[in-house]
Amino acid sequence: MNRLYKKMLSLINKLMKDRYLPSWVIILIDFGICVLAAFISGFILGGKEKYFNFPLDVYSARFLILSIVLTTSFLVLFRVAKGVIRYSTFSDAMRIFFAVVFSCALMLIVNAIYKYKIDPLEKDFIPKQLILIYFFVCYIGLFLFRMFVRWLFEKAYKAGIHISMTTSIIIFGAGRTGTATANTMMSASRKYYIKGFFDDEDSLSGKSIMGFRIWGKKDFEKILSYKDIDELVIATNRISTERKNEIFDLCYKNKIKVLTVPHIKTWTDGELKVEQIKEIQIEQLLNREEIKLNVDIISREIADKTVMVTGAAGSIGSEIIRQLTRFNPKLICVLDQAETSLYNIENELIDKYPEAKYKTIICSVQDKERLEDVFNQIRPDIVFHAAAYKHVPMMEAHPYEAVRVNVFGTKNIADLSSKYGVKKFVMISTDKAVNPTNVMGATKRFAEIYIQSLGKTSQTQFITTRFGNVLGSNGSVIPRFRQQIQKGGPVTVTHPDIIRYFMTIPEACRLVLEAGVMGKGGEIFLFDMGEPVKIVDLAKRMIKLSNLELEKDIKIEFTGLRPGEKLYEELLNQKEHSLPTYHNKIFVANNESFEMDEVIKSFVDLEQECHNQSEEGIVRVIKSLVRNFKSNNSRFEKLDAKE
């Protein structure tokens, strides 16, 4: 018997390395099981009435043909043969159940039609007892066959017959997502060997699932140290960011790669694909709670409205567009001057959001004449103004360009919004507008002041949203660090003490939409940015994520603060304080007020200095309006000197 068992395991080993059985072979096997089930059912009932006497009588023939044809047909209809037998699951069992139920139900219907319409005097076309017995025998046969094959494969798997398997993994999370992950990785073309599960739920410790051991929290560090594990897969959404960081640090210490499974809502047709299981990203290790949208309120505001997004091809603008598509706007005006990026976002809309109604427009916010034509044609109800120059050192070197886009570009869009009766104008600002130390931040504050002042006399509701650095946005520190790490370093950080607030692009845009809906005009909305992050710590963690060692494989170099850069950013200045809103992540600043006459005079002076191409003159005018603008590490510091 032991010899036969080993031969079976050897055969299983060969099958594990070969391709899966084609569907037609599985259909033939199921056909054979149906035939066997029909004969067994007849013999079980044979104590009372002789079925399946040879040669077959009319009752035996009727039942045999009808049961086999119907059951096999329904098995094909319910796509039972499409499943891989060695990975049969509850859903496969349910498909088999319904296939057999429908075939038996149809036999009962045939019985009823025959008895009441064709020959009422004759007994049943097929005895009801026989159909009932067949249901149980056939279902049990089809189900047990699959469970037996699965059991054999698991026995072979755990017996160590995995010659071609190259990656040993352990799964964190023994719930539904964890078991789905195990099934997916066992069926992957790349071979994985599952060593067990981890789970922080104490009641699961020491138990098993799918035949694999579940280890608890107290065993975590010991198992990672001694079990020779290549990869750990986090397969649960019930886990805090702090716990993810603990897991990552322990895995890094033991040279174990960490992967994550996406939320179940993103699975293809409700099934997890192995290509969806990816290495953990830095964004997942930052201490950020998930931000939830008030979908009903936003939908009421956006549905059937024409929405314009400027800077639509940028990282923030394009994400706003993606999120707008779910709220069924009448039309999305996708406006940007960057031809290639605009082409890319248009293709994405075609591929991923075929139901969305949109119009792409190449146009610069500096071109008021062209913008007027666009507003006249589109007649937007809501404008999200994301177009801006945002790189601090670049704008410090080119203040003229910063003013033309960030100040006059915003003025153009705001003036036309007011003229053409836009209901809401939502400006994307930055925390660098608070107590600015650079031209970029000061120009954004200048623009904030203008739209707030304009809103006092306009029917348009002008709203400002102000937040910090966005993870993964164009030109942000994370893509830069990734590039430097890929090249082998060094990773450059401006100062060992520099800190920044971070949030992801999707959550920033969710808050922009929410703030835009709740705003009534004149507000500056601030977002809860969480805890600040030291940039040098961010760099170190990204080096770890790349499975590299600091100093040994790659170095960090400090290059000094760049022109206009400060060690930390703020969301409020000394004259502002914040008030809560109904959303726990959004606050409103009680901000300083300006007279429109003063603002208009500053615009006139600024226009003149731009005409003169005087960079110092441009900055001087900005400082006269934005009085808390004090240049830092910049050639414009001399303008702050007391006379």
Query: What's the gap between Cα 432 and its chain centre?
Result: 28
Which band of pLDDT confidence, cut at 50, 70 and 90, is reported for residue 163? very low
C-alpha distances in Å from residue 276, one per residue of 83, 188, 269: 20, 12, 13
166-170, 427-431, 597-601, 604-608: range with lowest mean pLDDT:
166-170
Q: Which of 127-136, 183-192, 374-383, 458-467 has the highest mean pLDDT?
A: 374-383
Which band of pLDDT confidence, cut at 50, 70 and 90, is reported for residue 92? confident
The residue ranking higher by pLDDT, 612 or 38, is 612
pLDDT above 50 (res 157): yes
Alpha carbons 187 and 189: distance in angstroms, whole number: 7
Alpha carbons 406 and 388: distance in angstroms, whole number: 5
Q: In DSSP terms, which residues pair with 499 in a beta bridge? A: 534
**Which amino acid does the sequence have at 111?**
N
Residue listed under structure tokens 């934005």: 626
Q: What is the pLDDT of residues 527-543, one digit of tens each?
A: 776 777 888 888 888 88
The residue ranking higher by pLDDT, 212 or 608, is 608
Domains of the chain (ranges; CATH) run 2-158 (no CATH), 167-280 (3.40.50.720), 301-487+503-533+563-594 (3.40.50.720)
pLDDT above 80 (res 284): no
pLDDT above 70 (res 51): no
Please count the CA atoms within 13 angstroms of the CA of 260 that sit on its side-chain side.
20
β-strands 577-580, 586-590 pairing? antiparallel
- Of 305, 424, 432, 544, the active-site residue reads 432
Q: What is the pLDDT of residues 355-403, one digit of tens each?
A: 889 999 999 999 999 999 999 999 999 999 999 998 888 999 999 999 9
pLDDT above 80 (res 155): no
Residue 250's H or E segment, with its range, is helix 241-253
Verdict on whether the full-model pTM lies above 0.85:
no
Cβ atoms of 589 and 578 within 8 Å: the answer is: yes
110-119, 169-178, 222-231: range with lowest mean pLDDT:
110-119
Q: What mean pLDDT value characterizes the chain?
A: 80
Alpha carbons 70 and 128: distance in angstroms, whole number: 16
Q: What is the pLDDT of residues 459-480, one digit of tens each?
A: 999 998 887 777 666 667 878 8
Residue listed under structure tokens 């509850």: 90
The residue ranking higher by pLDDT, 264 or 325, is 325
Question: Phi first, then psi: what are they for 169, rounded to 5°?
Answer: -130, 160
Q: Which of 95-104, 175-184, 334-343, 536-545 has the highest mean pLDDT?
A: 334-343
Q: For position 248, what pLDDT does the model report?
A: 85
The residue ranking higher by pLDDT, 148 or 91, is 148
Which band of pLDDT confidence, cut at 50, 70 and 90, is reported for residue 621? very high
Task: Kindly tell me the burial class for residue 163, based on how many C-beta atoms sit within 10 Å of its own C-beta (0-12, 13-18, 19 or more).
Answer: exposed
Which band of pLDDT confidence, cut at 50, 70 and 90, is reported for residue 8? low
Q: For position 118, what pLDDT does the model report?
A: 66
Residues in contact with 193: Cβ distance below 8 Å, sequence separation at least 6, in sequence order = 157, 162, 165, 167, 168, 169
C-alpha distances in Å from residue 87, one per residue of 17, 80, 182: 15, 13, 10
Alpha carbons 218 and 526: distance in angstroms, whole number: 42
pLDDT above 60 (res 642): no
Residue 590's H or E segment, with its range, is strand 586-590
Alpha carbons 554 and 493: distance in angstroms, whole number: 13
Q: What is the pLDDT of residues 404-433, one digit of tens each?
A: 999 999 999 999 999 999 999 999 998 888
18-27, 106-115, 169-178, 188-197: range with lowest mean pLDDT:
18-27
Per the annotation, the verdict on 432 as an active-site residue is yes
**Which amino acid does the sequence have at 557?**
E
Q: For position 74, what pLDDT does the model report?
A: 80
At CA 188, angle to CA 184 and CA 194, rounded to 5? 65
SS3 readout for 142-197: HHHHHHHHHHHHHHHHHCCCCCCCCEEEEEECCCHHHHHHHHHHHCCCCCEEEEEE
pLDDT above 50 (res 17): no
